[in-house]
Structures are given as C-alpha cells and as structure tokens.
Chain A
Amino acid sequence: GAVVSQHPSRVICKSGTSVKIECRSLDFQATTMFWYRQFPKQSLMLMATSNEGSKATYEQGVEKDKFLINHASLTLSTLTVTSAHPEDSSFYICSAREAAGINEQFFGPGTRLTVL
C-alpha cells in the first residue's frame, strides 16, 4: 500500500523559533498533499491543500505567513511553523493523494509539536 512518512515525529521547541515538518510519499507520486492540525479530543482540521509546483490553498482562519507550505516535488511537502507560540502546540498530520479524482488520502504518522 501507499506509504507516507513524516519527520520529525515529535519536536519540542522554544517560543519564537521556527519548526519545519517534512511529509514524503515513499512509493507513489503525490500530486496533492494536505496538512491537518488536530488538538486533543478534537477532529482533524484541514489547514491547507498543496499541489506540486503551485502555491498552497489555505483554509479560512489559517495564516499563510505563519504556516509556510512548500510542495516542490511530487514526493515532498514541507510545513514550516514560523515564530511558534505555545498555542501552536498540536498534532500535525499530512496526507497525500495520488491523482485528481482519486479520493483516498494516505496519512503520515503525524508530528507532535510542543512549544514551550
């Protein structure tokens, strides 16, 4: 089956620093990647959708200058949380879709971000 990896799995950083999270599709080419955030006991919240080679589409209420997304290749997307604050502490999950019209998204294992 399709495998998506995320790195790092867990990160602890100081307030004000930036953190980069990588999402890779290991055995398929992902034309679209999605970034989600999940707070404890809540459902997934879509942050942005990125298509390879184009700018990400951010959901309402998500600051694009704070959450920088780059999808430079068909197998790699990165999310950079800039100037992180404690309220950014959350579980960040990426998913990848192989092609338009194929509905299934394959999820990465998630990254637990804790901002002190």
Chain B
Amino acid sequence: GQNIDQPTEMTATEGAIVQINCTYQTSGFNGLFWYQQHAGEAPTFLSYNVLDGLEEKGRFSSFLSRSKGYSYLLLKELQMKDSASYLCAVVDSNYQLIWGAGTKLIIKP
C-alpha cells in the first residue's frame, strides 16, 4: 500500500528553527509537495522537490532523498503566523497526489 508518515504535532518557540520530517512509501515517485494549511482554510503551496537535495525559499527550505524515501521541511526564524498544519504529499506513478495526515505546528512566544 501507499503510505506517508509525518509527526502529528510539533511545538517550537518564536524565532527558533523547526524541522518537519516526512517519510513515504508509494508506487512510483514523481515529486513531493509541502503545503501549509491554516485552520479553516485551504492548503497553500510551499515547495516542490523532484530531485535530491535542498531547495531554499526564504525562511522555508525543503529537502528530498529519493533513495531513503524521506523529505523534510525546515522553517527558520519562526513567527507566530507560522502556526498551521504542514502537509506532505507525494505524486505517485499515476500522477495522483498521496497526502500525509499533516503536522500541526504550534508556535509559542
């Protein structure tokens, strides 16, 4: 079966750095997305990785290792507005998005 694993909840302090991990087992791989979702809102795109390595975009970075079936989202200089759920999603061989359950990130002052 297809499976995406990410922690259910994480807590971090404003101004700090947090890393949210995602491991996957899917039938094929055509890329991995990270989305941010605030409560009651639709997901918004953060990053897309299809090759191994680190993609940096401002305070957010995303890393992918295809051989390990592993990705992480790194958030630096955390702000209170970063409190949200972060969803990892993998594109399988049929170009379908397989979603993780999301990681709820709580930022404390």
Hey, which bits of chain A sit against chain B, CB under 8 A?
34, 42-46, 49, 91, 93, 100-101, 103-110, 112
Contact = CB atoms under 8 A, between A and B. Distances in A.
Contacts of B33: 103-104
Contacts, number: 41
B31 interface: yes
A43 B101 contact: yes
Given A43-B87, A43-B102, A44-B87, A105 B42 contact: no
B contact face: mostly helix, strand, loop, or mixed: loop
Given A43-B102, A44-B87, A104 B42 contact: no
Contact of B95 (A93, A101, A112): A101
Contacts of B30: 103
Nearest to B44: A107
A110 B48 contact: no
Nearest to A94: B42
Given A103-B31, A106-B45, A108-B42, 19 more contacts: A34-B97, A43-B99, A43-B100, A44-B87, A44-B99, A46-B97, A91-B40, A93-B42, A93-B43, A101-B95, A103-B33, A103-B95, A104-B33, A104-B45, A107-B42, A107-B43, A107-B44, A109-B41, A110-B40
22 contacts: A34-B97, A43-B99, A43-B101, A44-B43, A44-B87, A45-B99, A46-B96, A46-B97, A93-B42, A100-B95, A103-B31, A103-B48, A103-B91, A103-B95, A104-B45, A105-B97, A106-B45, A107-B43, A107-B44, A109-B41, A109-B42, A110-B40
Interface of B: 30-31, 33, 40-45, 48, 87, 91, 95-97, 99-102
